[in-house]
Amino acid sequence: MSPLTITARDAATGPVIEIVGDLDYDTAPRLREVVDGLTVAAGHLLVLDLAGLNFCDSSGINALLSARNLTIEQGGHIALAAVPANTARILRVVGLDRVFTIHLDAATATATTAATR
């Protein structure tokens, strides 16, 4: 089990949250707390950078969906970046690859052209 580290930073397109470690039943509430504390301005993009994600269970997937719902309520957009293969497979199986915009990395997600939809 890898401890969860969540780091938030600002980009020109909006907030970027780096998630490192295991996103599971015990740690998913921490991601929800961080996202609840953010304000995503209308038209801005929240990027969840998953490059350091080691493991994600159904509670983690629910936390990602909660982040999406909150962002949309605020008038923003959300994207996942650097999704690990095992998590990408889960997203595909349950159809969430059609719900989330997915980028190769955070730099691509925060590029001005990627952020404008």
For the stretch 52-96, pLDDT in tens is 999 999 999 999 999 999 999 999 999 999 999 999 999 999 999
pTM given for the model: 0.93
Task: Convert 84-99 to b/e letters by CB count within 10 Å (16 or more is b).
Answer: eeebbebbeeeebbee
pLDDT of residue 1: 74
- Residues of the chain with pLDDT > 90: what percent? 92
Q: What is the mean pLDDT of the chain?
A: 94
pLDDT of residue 6: 98
pLDDT of residue 85: 97
Q: What secondary structure does DSSP assign to 25-55, as a single string?
A: TTTHHHHHHHHHT----TT-EEEEEEEEEEE
